[in-house]
Amino acid sequence: MRRIIPLADLDREDIGLVGGKNASLGELISRLGPGGIRVPDGFATTAEAYAELLDTGGLRTRIAERIDRLHRGAALAEVGAAIRADILGTALPQALQRELSQAYARLAREAGLDDPDVAVRSSATAEDLPEASFAGQQETFLNVRGVPALLDACLRCFASLFTDRAIDYRERLEFDHLAVALSVGVQLMVRSDLGSAGVMFTLDPETGFPDAVVVSAAWGLGETVVSGQVDPDEYVVFKPLMKAPGVNPVIRAQLGAKRRKAVYAAEGLTATVDTSPAERSARVLDDAEVRLLAGWAVDVEHHYGCPMDLEWAKDGRTGEIFLVQARPETVQSRRGTVLRRYRLTGSGRRLVSGISVGEAIGAGPVCALGSPAEADRFPAGAVLVTGITDPDWEPLMKRASAIVTDHGGRTSHAAIVSRELGVPAVVGTGRATALLTEGSAVTVSCAEGADGHVYEGRVDFEETETDLGSIPPTRTKVMLNLADPEAAFRWWQLPADGVGLTRTEFMVAHQVRVHPMALVHPERLTTEDRRRVDAATEGWSDRTEYFVDRLARGLARIAASRWPDPVVVRTSDFKTNEYARLIGGGPFEPVEANPMIGWRGASRYYDERYREGFALECRALRAVREDFGLTNVVVMIPFCRTPEEGDRVLAEMAANGLPRGGNGLRVYVMAEIPSNILLAEEFADRFDGFSIGSNDLTQLTLGVDRDSALLAHLFDETDHAVTRSVERLITAAHAAGRPVGLCGQRPSNDPDFARFLVRAGIDSISVTPDSFAAVKQQVAAAERGERR
């Protein structure tokens, strides 16, 4: 009988012998270790050793009898507790005790240590399969030292095969309880209690976007990340450019709060303590370490042939990084070709916000629970509100319409399980348990990007399904309007031809929040504004770099979501009253009677009052194209009144390292002023393409304030003056070899207008993602000469 096997002697064919977790560790060591991937050494008990335990003292028969009682209506908690007591009351067979002691002694000798600290983990033989995830359902013990503690931890791992959540999960998937065996993996500890640890996925775990590696990281042992006790840092690496020379593919580096960390306990195994202010404000990993981990993750994904979910740890003594687990990702990788989307159609008072998990919306009465022991008062369809979840909550979570927690990040237990169950969850709210009223109706929305929100009452919403296979191809390009980098990956499955409009000002308002000139000239700020700028830029010694980094990484995520198709980025087009509302904006913005046709767009970029702010935008765009390697970014200049103004803007760009044509850079101009139409040939000499802004073009052609309710009946984008302007621009631009697009909602709402654009020869139409499928159908029909 093989009771113990070194991990190095295992591979992924040994799942039936040592479970998915241990077989995968063996595969990493034996197959990928020679390529440089580091995995701590160790050994595993076998399914045969577990069977030997079950054959001791009639244990197998007693378990079968108790499972039979469950099927006849006995309470799950009662059955689970009885089985665990049976196992814990049974001594490990003497032969297994002896071989565990010998294996531990060998591990100690090879490591050159006396009584080394080890991690003792459970590995079920039905675990970590592509079609099912048992992750987190059995126990793990860290900082186990000495033979008596090892034997005790192993027995507790065996008993954890029958936790209530594990029994419930196997019942739901119709696994035979006694056909699933448990192996115990024993590995040398990585001293991440002195360093850091976390998890990573080889796709975006929320959207399934396949070209990203998402890394979560926190100080101390990894259990705080997996359990959701901390809000970790998050890093996103763009896989297609990982091996491009001179390129940094880390397109997101978001700091988490990281208020707690798990460390070795003075007595016992581990303890959770507060982090220091310096730890909270610092990055856990630098870009080089993130790239190292992402490279390993891609190698593992390639080796296994499927998306992967991995855990890593960094030793605080040596600085070395290790992989400590690898398993197939089991939620997003099984998505079909039907795109399901939710959208709020009503409104309600926002009560609390956090991290959005999933993309659905749920509603029901609030039921706040302190522990799973209160499950008997949880009604099916209620919204579960609690501080944090662990695997003991799972039988209850599947009955919830939505889940809201105070703590946790995107890789916490609550997030992982809610994704698998398809239940919307908002995690890491900080105070939901204090703010949400027991029994009150709420709506939980995860359909608004990276931030999830809880609204008062039952807010109306709609659910739509799009069969991606039914969307027809078109000659006319149909592109997307995207502005929110947090939501960019949501739409990767749409067969769009790129992004026709990305609004820089949206990202400045939501990602940066600070007026760029306030970062360049803080001496002009009031004391209060300086305090607000200091708070927003905490941790940045160079505050202009804060602006550049936040904007560049936001733009990079949008550009990556459609790579290698073009992504048209419009430089900032705030009006002066909008700029003034940014942090520190007041001293830099004049008060204008009509900001709509005032100091906006191109006229700001070469003006001494904003030139240094535009230079920061150029630095961000240059970083996206050169540092991150996303050369699919096309720059577009808004509200350019004259060709000569275009010359001045292009000169400013060149002075800031963005010459038109340099490194393949194309520069477009918005066609939204009558002068852009009348002087189309001159603008075409200076710019590489046009994008029609139909709202401003209609407003300025007809002399109608688009915000005036009194004149709303006159604002019409299909007026002949507007449509003839569009036709004239297309003709002139095409004669000069320049493409013309239109970004606006009118084609979404008006099939006749979409047909007009196709007949006029428009090159592209850019619309919001939720109207993409309908517009694509309308354009296809127009190209066929049909009416829809």
Q: Under a CB-based contact definition with an 8 Å cutoff, are residues 202 and 300 in contact?
A: yes
* Percent helix / strand / coil, the chain, rounded to 5: 45, 20, 35
Tokens 């906006």 sit at which residue? 600
Q: Under a CB-based contact definition with an 8 Å cutoff, are residues 221 and 142 in contact?
A: yes
Tokens representing 320? 């070395």
Cis peptide before 739 (omega within 30 of 0): no
- Cα–Cα distance, 137 to 165 (Å, whole number): 7
306 included as an active-site residue: no
- Cα–Cα distance, 305 to 302 (Å, whole number): 5
**Separation of first and last alpha carbons in the chain:** 72
* Residue 573 exposed, middle or buried by CB count within 10 Å (0-12, 13-18, 19+): buried
| Active-site position among 154, 446, 640, 743 | 743
Q: Under a CB-based contact definition with an 8 Å cutoff, are residues 595 and 696 in contact?
A: no
- Cα–Cα distance, 173 to 655 (Å, whole number): 63
Residue of 513, 507, 447, 508 lying closest to 482 (CA atoms): 507
708: Cβ contacts below 8 Å, ≥ 6 apart: none
Q: Under a CB-based contact definition with an 8 Å cutoff, are residues 126 and 191 in contact?
A: no
Q: Under a CB-based contact definition with an 8 Å cutoff, are residues 702 and 719 in contact?
A: yes
Strand-strand pairing, 451-456 and 321-328: unpaired
Distance of CA 613 to the CA centre of its chain: 30
| Active-site position among 407, 413, 453, 515 | 413
Tokens representing 565? 């198709």
- Cα–Cα distance, 311 to 176 (Å, whole number): 28
Q: What DSSP state is assigned to residue 479?
A: E
Pinpoint the alpha helices (H) of 468-610: 504-507, 516-520, 527-536, 543-562, 576-580, 602-605
Classify the C-alpha dihedral 571-576-582-588 as positive or negative: positive
Classify the C-alpha dihedral 743-554-234-256 as positive or negative: negative
446 included as an active-site residue: no
The CB density around residue 472, as the number of other CB atoms within 10 Å, is 13
- Cα–Cα distance, 498 to 561 (Å, whole number): 9
Report, in angstroms and rounded to the nearest whole number, the Rg of the chain calculated over CA atoms: 29
Catalytic residues: 413, 743
